[in-house]
Chain A
Amino acid sequence: MTKSKKGSKLGRITRRTLLVGAVAVAGGAAFGIWQVRRPVDNPLAPESGATLNPYLIIDGDAITIITPRAEMGQGIHTTLAALVAEELDVDWAQVRHWHGPPSAAYYNGALMHGALPVADYAMKGWQIALAETLGAASKVLGLQVTGGSTSTVDAYERMRLAGAGAREALKAVAADRLGVEVAQLRTEAGQVLAPDGTKLPYGELAAEAATRPVPQPALRDPSQWRLLGRSLPRLDMVAKVTGTAEFGTDIKLPGLHCAALRLCPYPGGRVAGFNPDPALAVPGVAHVIDLEDGIGVVARNTWAAMQGAQALEVDWQRGDLPDSIEAMFDRIAEAFDDRRNSRMRNDGDPERAISDASEALELEYRAPFLHHATMEPMSATALLEEGHLTLWCGNQAPRLHQERAARAAGITPEEVTLHSTYMGGGFGRRAESDFTHYAAKLAAALPGTPIRLTYSREEDMAHGFLRPAAIARMRGAVADGRAVAFDAQVAASSVSHQAIARMTGRRMGGPDKGHVEGLFDQPYAIPNYRVRGYLADLDVPVGFWRAVGNSQNAFFHECFIDELAHAAGADPLAFRLAHMRDEHAPSAQVLEAVAEMSDWGNPPEGRAQGVAFCHSFGTPTAQVVELARENGSLRITRAWIACDPGRVLDPGIVRAQMESGLIYGLSAAVTGQITFADGMVEQRNFPDYDALRMDSVPEISVRILENNPHMGGVGEPGTPPAAPALANAVFALTGERVRTLPLSLQFDFRV
């Protein structure tokens, strides 16, 4: 439908400069104010109808709203479309949605909010202004990324303004045609209404409106909203229950061939040599293609391709990683002896407070590598024709995927058309572009043949970008029922450094905030509070797993807080509240809410409760998990969630995301782990990397508060408190502490 116009060399160079500089604020100034203020170019060029701005195409009665973020299940297309539709005055049933092309116009201005080295809850006015400067940098760089639970925060004003500006432009055209003042006109259901009852459909006004300067009207007060603030029918729902929703693995094209991969099982390794004949002997296999770190097999159907890939005889050259998970943890532990990477919090004098204390706690915790395990394995469809690559895939970073595919095919990004499809789960995995790279290479090897690549579950499982394994060394002390010292050291590989190196080809230095998020930035008033991060020299591929650093660090933080509460002889929930009430009111309020919902302290006979809290992605979230013992096994019976994302745009979607985040976190906490033996990932498929099923999921209640003055995200904050709430419930029920995940190593769970 369209091609992206942007993708300049300037964009690429400056992106690197900014990221390499560890999101240096100077980056913003270096671009020049004209670049920041300049309106974004509209990348849309519809074949019919008119586009009024990068978010809107009006073609007759069809209102198409561009929703340029990854729809991976979180409902973002629905909420983004509602932002435009609210101001545009169209019926929800009229609204079509389209992801749109990769474009700098769709930069994520909220992505950099998390980049400042301060705790989110404690951001001062000048720091928020600084974050906006960084957001401007994101605009200049054209970072179109779905991640960090930022999509709604980023779009909240921008997409409402797009709807309002278009509405006013349509009214202005109508006013001229009817010879009346704009103020006399109103809009409803995709039409401009005149005082005499004349109705002008938007479709009749759009072409002319598109040629006019864009008005900048004021936005409506939320009290006037008709769509926002309530649970809307999702735009993707009917397609998803009828099997008509199109994922990257579903693309149908004339002459389509299907492909599977056999990738090097040793991370960092490559193909030393191979014999293609056993693959070519499989009926239906047409081509075997060397991909350097793996081999692609192309066949008439995916089954034949996968059979062929398995049949290949390959000699692998191994990478230089330690062989076993034990050796990897030894390597991670060595990081504590190295120079620290960060000290994001350093209040008071923890050394002295701990040595002065009559009783100090010193404990070690461990979290395993985790896989995203999306339901849809990685997939992409690609066709190279006359030097132009057309690509279909679900992805969380269209411009990065476009660039990566271009490099793989030996062409420029301008010669790549990328269609971003629905994705069968993302959770951070589809920010990586490995599958795009391989699909583009296969398409480039077979010009004119459309290639649909689907990873086998086994290849997908063995080639994840994992949540890093981590070790935390925690020290603390209590006095008079309060925590007087909290001193955390955490060691793990750096996701930020690795991912930025993969995306830009350059090393990033400096403190990695994501590595210690969930530890240093929590709203507890503890006078001696220190958090130090150590980067493990371990190049296991790691990536952005749902909630990123918060996912393991909340486990460390909140389990240790529970141990401090126990040492202080205090109730774990009251202990948390006592430290939080004066530090951050919205956080204390979610704890109070979850206490009330769960009737905290009064579990039914034979059951026990655990609580945990995490302030992540701008949203304080507290959870209580209830646990029972049944026939010698543990069973998670109920769970309560209270969260505060500030203004809520779609309560149904927020609730669904909170439940989803909790179940994702509990699944990982109970059974999730990726281990290595003989240099290879040991887990192969769902039977050894399982998750909660319908019969093991607790009954869940969600309460959404709106006391938070800043809007937060909802896709990730439900995950971090799940593991510690569960581990703390295990202690309450059994008297045994869990300091290593998954829990199934220590306890028999009914799953």
Chain B
Amino acid sequence: MPHDVTVNGTRHSLDLPGETPLLWVLRDELGLTGTKYGCGVAACGACTVLVAGEAVRACALPLADVWDEVTTIEGFGTPEALAPLQAAWVRHQAAQCGYCQPGQILQAAALLAENPTPDDAAINAAMSGNLCRCGTYPAIRAAIHDAAAAMSEA
């Protein structure tokens, strides 16, 4: 039975087992490789996407259970039109290897949607499920503060 899913505004009908995690649907079936595989057990956050604005681990979300529209990093901003969070990431030169950063950025997007002026404690609480082996946390935290300020002025 085909499953319907809307990703970055485009509707797809997919003939796949319903238990297939959204992560692999995005990466291998739809070619949206900005969403990364890190652990497969919702422990690292590299696969974080937004479902109806909520940060979700795509590796642990079966295709059949996707309840609303999905936004991936590709739909969040582009090199030509960076989202404010991505622009803040660039200002702070936050990425190193870069592999975890799409997930970090979408996790931060969900945080700012809920709390437009988070303090350090709120940032830590929201972001600590997202692992970064390069240790870019200080730069990420600074970028989130910066983006929050930029977005409140806009």
- With A236-B98, A243-B34, A243-B72 given, is the CB distance from A659 to B135 under 8 Å? yes
User: From B38, which residue of chain A is reached at the shortest CB distance?
Assistant: A375
Check A479 for interface membership: any CB of B closer than 8 A. no
Residues of B within 8 A of A691 (CB): 131, 133
Whether A697 and B137, one on each chain, are in contact in the complex, defined by CB atoms closer than 8 angstroms, is yes
Measured CA separation A692–B131 after assembly (Å): 8
Residues of B within 8 A of A656 (CB): 93, 96, 136, 139
Measured CA separation A241–B84 after assembly (Å): 11
Measured CA separation A693–B136 after assembly (Å): 10
Residues of A within 8 A of B23 (CB): 303
Whether B20 and A660, one on each chain, are in contact in the complex, defined by CB atoms closer than 8 angstroms, is no
Which of A74, A234, A258, A694 has a CB less than 8 Å from the CB of B124? A694
What is the interface of chain B mostly: helix, strand, loop, or mixed? loop
- With A234-B93, A301-B24, A457-B40 given, is the CB distance from A283 to B137 under 8 Å? no
Interface centre among A236, A426, A686 (most CB of B within 10 A): A686
Measured CA separation A377–B82 after assembly (Å): 28
- With A75-B96, A231-B93, A660-B136 given, is the CB distance from A241 to B131 under 8 Å? no
Check B141 for interface membership: any CB of A closer than 8 A. yes
Which of B29, B74, B124, B134 has a CB less than 8 Å from the CB of A243? B74
Check A745 for interface membership: any CB of B closer than 8 A. no
B61-97 contacts to A (CB < 8 Å): 72-74, 77-79, 82, 86, 89-90, 93-97
Interface centre among A75, A424, A660 (most CB of B within 10 A): A424
Check B110 for interface membership: any CB of A closer than 8 A. no
- With A283-B17, A685-B43 given, is the CB distance from A660 to B96 under 8 Å? yes
Which of A242, A249, A426, A692 has a CB less than 8 Å from the CB of B73? A242
Whether B73 and A301, one on each chain, are in contact in the complex, defined by CB atoms closer than 8 angstroms, is no
Residues of B within 8 A of A75 (CB): 96
Check B132 for interface membership: any CB of A closer than 8 A. yes
Which of B28, B77, B97, B105 has a CB less than 8 Å from the CB of A73? B97
- With A249-B37, A660-B135, A694-B137 given, is the CB distance from A302 to B93 under 8 Å? no
Measured CA separation A457–B41 after assembly (Å): 9
Measured CA separation A427–B30 after assembly (Å): 31
Residues of A within 8 A of B29 (CB): 301
Check B51 for interface membership: any CB of A closer than 8 A. no
Measured CA separation A356–B154 after assembly (Å): 74
Whether B136 and A375, one on each chain, are in contact in the complex, defined by CB atoms closer than 8 angstroms, is no
Whether A663 and B124, one on each chain, are in contact in the complex, defined by CB atoms closer than 8 angstroms, is no
- With A233-B93, A247-B99, A303-B21 given, is the CB distance from A687 to B41 under 8 Å? yes
- With A303-B28, A687-B43 given, is the CB distance from A376 to B21 under 8 Å? no
Whether B99 and A424, one on each chain, are in contact in the complex, defined by CB atoms closer than 8 angstroms, is yes
Measured CA separation A373–B133 after assembly (Å): 8
Interface centre among A245, A249, A284, A374 (most CB of B within 10 A): A245
Which of A303, A373, A424 has a CB less than 8 Å from the CB of B20? A303
Measured CA separation A658–B112 after assembly (Å): 29
Residues of A within 8 A of B72 (CB): 243
Q: Would you give the shortest CB distance from B51 to chain A, in whole angstroms? A: 17
Task: Tell me the count of chain B residues lying within 8 A, CB to CB, of chain A.
Answer: 63
Q: Would you give the shortest CB distance from A723 to chain B, in whole angstroms? A: 15
User: From A455, which residue of chain B is reached at the shortest CB distance?
Assistant: B37
Check B7 for interface membership: any CB of A closer than 8 A. no
Whether B133 and A241, one on each chain, are in contact in the complex, defined by CB atoms closer than 8 angstroms, is no
Residues of A within 8 A of B102 (CB): 241, 243
Interface centre among B32, B73, B97, B137 (most CB of A within 10 A): B97
Residues of B within 8 A of A659 (CB): 135, 138
Residues of A within 8 A of B32 (CB): 243
Residues of B within 8 A of A484 (CB): none
Whether A243 and B35, one on each chain, are in contact in the complex, defined by CB atoms closer than 8 angstroms, is yes
Measured CA separation A696–B33 after assembly (Å): 30
Residues of B within 8 A of A220 (CB): none
A695-713 contacts to B (CB < 8 Å): 695-697, 699-700
Whether A664 and B39, one on each chain, are in contact in the complex, defined by CB atoms closer than 8 angstroms, is no
- With A375-B97, A695-B125 given, is the CB distance from A664 to B133 under 8 Å? yes
Measured CA separation A300–B82 after assembly (Å): 33
Which of A240, A374, A652 has a CB less than 8 Å from the CB of B98? A240
Measured CA separation A686–B127 after assembly (Å): 16
User: From A663, which residue of chain B is reached at the shortest CB distance?
Assistant: B135
Residues of B within 8 A of A685 (CB): 39-41, 43
Residues of B within 8 A of A272 (CB): none
Residues of B within 8 A of A234 (CB): 93, 95
Whether B140 and A694, one on each chain, are in contact in the complex, defined by CB atoms closer than 8 angstroms, is yes
Whether B133 and A422, one on each chain, are in contact in the complex, defined by CB atoms closer than 8 angstroms, is no
A235-266 contacts to B (CB < 8 Å): 236-247, 249-250, 252, 258
Whether A241 and B89, one on each chain, are in contact in the complex, defined by CB atoms closer than 8 angstroms, is yes
- With A241-B105, A243-B73 given, is the CB distance from A375 to B93 under 8 Å? no
Q: Would you give the shortest CB distance from A97 to chain B, in whole angstroms? A: 14
Check A423 for interface membership: any CB of B closer than 8 A. yes
Residues of A within 8 A of B141 (CB): 694
Residues of B within 8 A of A697 (CB): 135, 137-138
User: From B139, which residue of chain A is reached at the shortest CB distance?
Assistant: A656
Residues of A within 8 A of B101 (CB): 240-241
Check B9 for interface membership: any CB of A closer than 8 A. no
B37-66 contacts to A (CB < 8 Å): 37-41, 43-44, 46
Q: Would you give the shortest CB distance from B144 to chain A, in whole angstroms? A: 10
Whether B24 and A375, one on each chain, are in contact in the complex, defined by CB atoms closer than 8 angstroms, is no
User: From A236, which residue of chain B is reached at the shortest CB distance?
Assistant: B98
Interface centre among B78, B137, B139 (most CB of A within 10 A): B137
- With A238-B90, A424-B98 given, is the CB distance from A694 to B130 under 8 Å? yes
Annotate B5-26 by CB proximity to A: 1 below 8 A, 0 otherwise: 0000000000011001101110
Check B148 for interface membership: any CB of A closer than 8 A. no
Q: Would you give the shortest CB distance from B52 to chain A, in whole angstroms? A: 20
Residues of B within 8 A of A728 (CB): none
Residues of B within 8 A of A374 (CB): 97, 99, 133
Check A72 for interface membership: any CB of B closer than 8 A. yes
Measured CA separation A258–B37 after assembly (Å): 13
Annotate A281-312 by CB proximity to B: 1 below 8 A, 0 otherwise: 00110000000000000001111101000000
Interface centre among B23, B96, B123 (most CB of A within 10 A): B96
Whether B86 and A242, one on each chain, are in contact in the complex, defined by CB atoms closer than 8 angstroms, is yes
Whether A258 and B38, one on each chain, are in contact in the complex, defined by CB atoms closer than 8 angstroms, is no
User: From B40, which residue of chain A is reached at the shortest CB distance?
Assistant: A457
Whether A377 and B96, one on each chain, are in contact in the complex, defined by CB atoms closer than 8 angstroms, is no
Q: Would you give the shortest CB distance from B53 to chain A, in whole angstroms? A: 18
Q: Would you give the shortest CB distance from A76 to chain B, in whole angstroms? A: 11
Residues of A within 8 A of B115 (CB): none
Check B27 for interface membership: any CB of A closer than 8 A. yes
Residues of A within 8 A of B127 (CB): 693-695
30 contacts between A and B (CB under 8 A): A73-B96, A237-B93, A238-B79, A238-B82, A241-B90, A241-B101, A241-B102, A243-B33, A243-B34, A243-B74, A245-B98, A247-B36, A252-B31, A303-B21, A303-B23, A374-B133, A375-B46, A375-B97, A375-B133, A377-B38, A425-B97, A456-B40, A457-B38, A652-B93, A656-B96, A656-B139, A667-B135, A686-B39, A693-B129, A696-B128
Sorted nearest first, the 6 A-B pairs with minimum C-beta distance are: A243-B34, A663-B135, A424-B99, A240-B98, A73-B97, A73-B96
Interface residues of B (CB under 8 A from A): 16-17, 20-21, 23-25, 27-29, 31-41, 43-44, 46, 72-74, 77-79, 82, 86, 89-90, 93-102, 105, 123-125, 127-141
Interface residues of A (CB under 8 A from B): 72-75, 231, 233-234, 236-247, 249-250, 252, 258, 283-284, 300-304, 306, 373-377, 422-427, 454, 456-457, 652, 656, 659-660, 662-664, 667, 685-687, 690-697, 699-700
Assuming A242-B34, A660-B134, what are 15 further A-B pairs, CB within 8 angstroms?
A: A72-B97, A73-B134, A238-B79, A243-B35, A303-B23, A306-B40, A374-B133, A375-B36, A377-B38, A457-B41, A685-B40, A687-B43, A691-B133, A693-B127, A695-B127
